């Protein structure tokens, strides 16, 4: 069976659970027979955007490149999953305008919770003024206004968030239903 | 039918007919039911490599990015066709090492012939010393030593060159045979 390509675009602050949830989705879609590529921040910085910094201009360039790869993959029947902070609404909407099936997923989590988790120790430093251009602290983050899915990683399990997304993709008829017998 | 992905990597001097032949191949493979993306110099400079120049380092970065997109497309069942000068053998071989099905196509044409055609008027300028880093004139071009296909655009028609490539791809069992009835 040929499946339809689409782009699942995660956006949200550092540590909000974009990569974690995207990896669960990736696994689940593979099990349903789909072709999937995850383009997370690390993959992309390494392969497309080495040398770019964190100014607005450099961030926009980085996000546009991810968007273009998503566009090319999607139109060839692949599910492209982007999991980068992508803080600016205008650029996300620009990509939405180019990609045929664009599904925006907002990984929402309040900053105090992120600062308490602080897996990489970055929020502490950012809040102490030691990191410039840290999204949500010393650099803007513009939350989506019309995301197809929003999940709240401070009060949902990873599985709950992933299920919300899968349900939405099923409703949009972008993915096949999971077989009942498991 | 699911088809196998692969990368068809054109290399050769400016004006040697990389894009022209690649577009014929693209059309032909689409007619055989395959998914195809052409990544030529212009597409890539616009979407992946704006701001890069023509130093060895910048050229290498540009080619590595194209290579990575080819790798991602190929492993998802898409035929990626790269049509960039890609003058350095080492980088081409590096990409060959990463892409599962890598088919190198050398568009060969002697410089005097290119200078006489000079579609874009670039060779005249380069030979007069007005363009720095012009491949084949003021910048190196390292011809492939083990290209799967070599065509000679000074003494073959576009159709002959394209047929050579298609025959090789059929031999390698990367594309289905064309139906006899036409």
ipTM, 2 decimals? 0.90
B46-78 in b/e burial notation, b at 16+ Cβ within 10 A? ebbbeebebeeeebbbbbbbbbbbbbbbbbbbb
| pLDDT, position A37 | 97
| pLDDT, position B181 | 44
Q: Do B47 and A68 touch (CB under 8 A)?
A: yes
10-residue mean pLDDT series, chain A (182 residues) = 88 96 97 94 86 89 95 97 96 96 98 93 94 93 97 97 98 85 46
- What DSSP string describes B114-133? HHHH-TTSHHHHHHTT-STT
- Residues of A that are catalytic: 86
Q: Do B77 and A73 touch (CB under 8 A)?
A: no
Q: Min CA distance, B68 vs chain A (Å)?
A: 7
The two three-digit tokens of residue B60, written as one number: 């290498």
A73 contacts chain B (CB < 8 A): yes
Do the bridges between strand B102-108 and strand A6-11 make them parallel or antiparallel, or are there none, so unpaired? unpaired
* Band of pLDDT at residue B180, cut at 50, 70 and 90: low
B43 contacts chain A (CB < 8 A): no
Please tell me whether the overall predicted TM-score, pTM, comes out greater than 0.90 for this model.
yes
Nearest to A174 by CA among A39, A9, A6, A10: A6
Calculate the CA dihedral of residues A27, A31, A32, A37 and round it to 10 degrees: 40
The pLDDT mean for chain A works out to 93
A48 contacts chain B (CB < 8 A): yes
């Amino acid at each position: 069976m040929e499946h339809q390509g689409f782009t699942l675009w995660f956006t949200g602050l550092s540590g909000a659970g974009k990569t974690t949830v995207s990896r669960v989705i990736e696994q689940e879609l593979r099990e349903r027979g789909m072709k999937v590529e995850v383009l997370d921040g690390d993959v992309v910085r390494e392969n497309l955007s080495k040398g770019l910094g964190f100014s607005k201009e450099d961030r926009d360039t980085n996000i546009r490149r991810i968007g273009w790869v998503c566009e090319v993959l999607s139109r060839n029947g692949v599910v492209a999953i982007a999991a980068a902070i992508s803080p600016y609404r205008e650029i996300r909407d620009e990509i939405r305008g180019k990609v045929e099936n664009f599904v925006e997923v907002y990984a929402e989590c309040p900053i105090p919770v992120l600062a308490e988790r602080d897996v990489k120790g970055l929020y502490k430093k950012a809040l102490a003024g030691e990191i410039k251009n840290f999204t949500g602290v010393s650099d803007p983050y513009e939350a989506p206004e019309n995301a197809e899915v929003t999940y709240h990683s401070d009060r949902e399990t990873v599985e709950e968030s992933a299920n919300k997304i899968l349900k939405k993709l099923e409703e949009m008829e972008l993915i096949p239903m999971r077989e009942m017998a498991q």
